[in-house]
Every structure is written in structure tokens, then in C-alpha cells.
Amino acid sequence: MTARLIDGNALAQQIRSDVAARAAALTRIGRTPGLAVILVGDNPASQVYVQHKVKDCEGAGMRSVLEKYDATISQAELLARIQALNEDPTIHGILVQLPLPAHIDPQRVIETISPAKDVDGFHVQSAGALMVGQPGFKPCTPYGCMKMLESIGYDPKGKHAVVIGRSNIVGKPMAMMLLQASATVTICHSATADLGHHTRQADIVVAAVGKRNVLTADMVKPGAVVIDVGMNRNEAGKLCGDVDFEGVRQVAGWITPVPGGVGPMTRAMLLVNTIEAAERAAARG
């Protein structure tokens, strides 16, 4: 069997078109959605990602404001800037690109963003809302993974899902979203004794570790859906995920590529959260 590909680029394009129509409707009533993107320091990958976010916003007819700060900015200055953006009625979403320089506490920064503008879905209030099944912003990467499952008509209800990775921004929210969709969920991590024992039983595997070849063909149940969140570089500098793509595609039923899988969906779901934030603000008056 050769797995079918879940094309993140194509799905993201559909989502962007839908967001653009919603943004146009808001612009017609004078409420153009606005996203503030904060970049601290000169991490080359982060610079590329924030440029993409700005471009995505413009493509969808939304306003974006990119604020770049030197790596030496103090935490207090950064928090003050976020507080000002919280008060700005033309800004509906705020995100601070991660990672941050070591002297800045990322959780403190995230908690300073108003939950109403937390379009990354990283605020503890957003995490709590996800935990108890209340409305709130969902972190873009796992949200995008759920949309990918939906796009192939795959219902996680009653399925066994294994999430590899327990980060606050991917692994944990991914597990919560799958649980909410009535999957039976196992979270594996660096201290898991026999990873393959778990993944071989899984109908859905989400690999979110940040390490190449974490999932190989012998660890996958035939026909399983494999979602690769990883973003790594191989020895030749080529972008690759956490999954041994060539091996696993011979066994899985569906698989996401890297690049062109979860990455573009992460970007698309940021637009969805931003339009949602702007629509909620418009509804509040």
C-alpha cells in the first residue's frame, strides 16, 4: 500500500479564500481585521515565518502590523507594548513569534496578551477553554491537523490516536482536540519506554517532537493516518519532518508531507483565528 497524501497547501488555499470573503464583509462595514505580529531578535527562521504571516494577512484582505524589536529589549518594555496593542481597537489579534531571547519569559509574555486577541491560542485561558470544551482560540498547528483529518472525511470518534510530544503549543492541545473528537488518546514523550508498542496500535499518529525519523515504517499500523508536525533539516539542509516519510508512506493509509503539510495549515489557521477575533469584536459593537 502507498499512502495517500494530505495536501496542506491545497487545503490552506481553500481556507484562505474563505477567510478573505469574511474579511471583505468586515471591511464593508468599516471593521477591517488587524493582526499585530511581534518579532524579537534576529532568528532567521522566525524572520521568514513572520514575513509569511504578514503576506498571508495582506492576501486575505486583512491589515497586519509587524513590530520588530532588538534582542536586547527588556521584558518590561515588551509587556508594555503588548498592553498598548490590547487597548488598540484596530488590532484584533496579537502574536509574539516564538522562540524569544532567553532573558524573556515566554509564558509571562503570552499571559499579557488579552485572551480576546490571543490568536495563537497559547494563553492559559485559551488552554483552559479547550480543556473544558468552551469557545476560545485553538493553537494553530493542532487546529490545522484537525482540519486535515476533516478534509479527508476521517472521524476520530472511537479511533486510537497516539500523539508523540507533550509541548504546550502542539502535543497537549492536539491530544485535547482529539479527545474532544471522541478519540482514545495516548500521549507519548521522551520518557515513553517503548514508543513503537504504542504507535503500532494507533489509527492516527501525530508526530510533534522536532527530531528526524522518530516514526519509522515498522512502528506504524497498516492504513493508519500519519500527521507530521516536525520541521527539521537533514544533513543536506533539506527540510524534513519527524517521520521517515519514504518508509512510512509504504505502510500508512494517509500521510502529510513536509514541506507542504502541517506548516501551511498552521499559517491558515492563524488567519481563521484572526478573522474570528475580528468578527467577535464587531459583534460586541
Peptide bond into 259 cis (omega under 30): yes
Closest chain position to ligand LMY7XDAE (CB)? 263
CB of 189 to ligand LMY7XDAE, least distance (A): 19
Tell me whether residue 165 is annotated as binding.
yes
Q: Is 75 helix (H, G, I), strand (E, B) or coil?
A: helix
State in angstroms the smallest separation of the CB of 2 from ligand LMY7XDAE. Answer: 21
Contact 90, 281 (CB under 8 A): no
Distance CA 119, CA 95 (A): 7
Q: Which is nearer to ligand LMY7XDAE, 53 or 159 (CB)?
A: 53
Interaction residues for ligand LMY7XDAE, span 120-179 (CB under 6 A): 120, 140-141
Among this protein's residues, is 120 annotated catalytic? yes
Least distance (Å) from ligand LMY7XDAE to the CB of residue 169?
A: 6
By beta-carbon proximity to ligand LMY7XDAE, the closer residue of 55 and 189 is: 55
Residue 95 in the binding site for ligand LMY7XDAE (CB under 6 A): yes
Distance CA 168, CA 162 (A): 16
Site for ligand LMY7XDAE in 19-58 (CB under 6 A): 49
| 263 binds ligand LMY7XDAE, rule: CB under 6 A | yes
Please indicate if the annotation marks 166 as binding a ligand.
yes
Catalytic-residue membership of 242: no
Binding mask of the shown chain, residues 187 to 216, with x at each position contacting ligand LMY7XDAE by CB under 6 A: ------------------------------
Note whether 244 and 199 are within 8 A (CB).
no
Cα 265 to chain centroid distance, Å, stands at: 7
d(CA 129, CA 131): 5
Phi-psi region at 261: left, alpha or beta (left = phi > 0; alpha = psi -120 to 50): alpha
Q: Which H/E stretch holds residue 279? A: helix 262-284
Catalytic residue among 56, 118, 120, 242: 120
Q: Is 5 in the site for ligand LMY7XDAE (CB under 6 A)?
A: no
Sequence-ordered strand ranges (E) for the chain? 4-5, 34-40, 63-69, 93-96, 160-164, 184-188, 204-207, 225-228, 232-233, 239-240, 254-255
- Annotated catalytic residue 201: no
Nearest to 165 by CA among 203, 124, 198: 198
Residue choice 199, 267, 268, 278 for contact with ligand LMY7XDAE (CB under 6 A): 267
Active site residues: 53, 97, 120
Q: Where along the sequence are the contacts to ligand LMY7XDAE (CB under 6 A)? A: 49, 95-98, 120, 140-141, 231, 239, 258-260, 263-264, 266-267
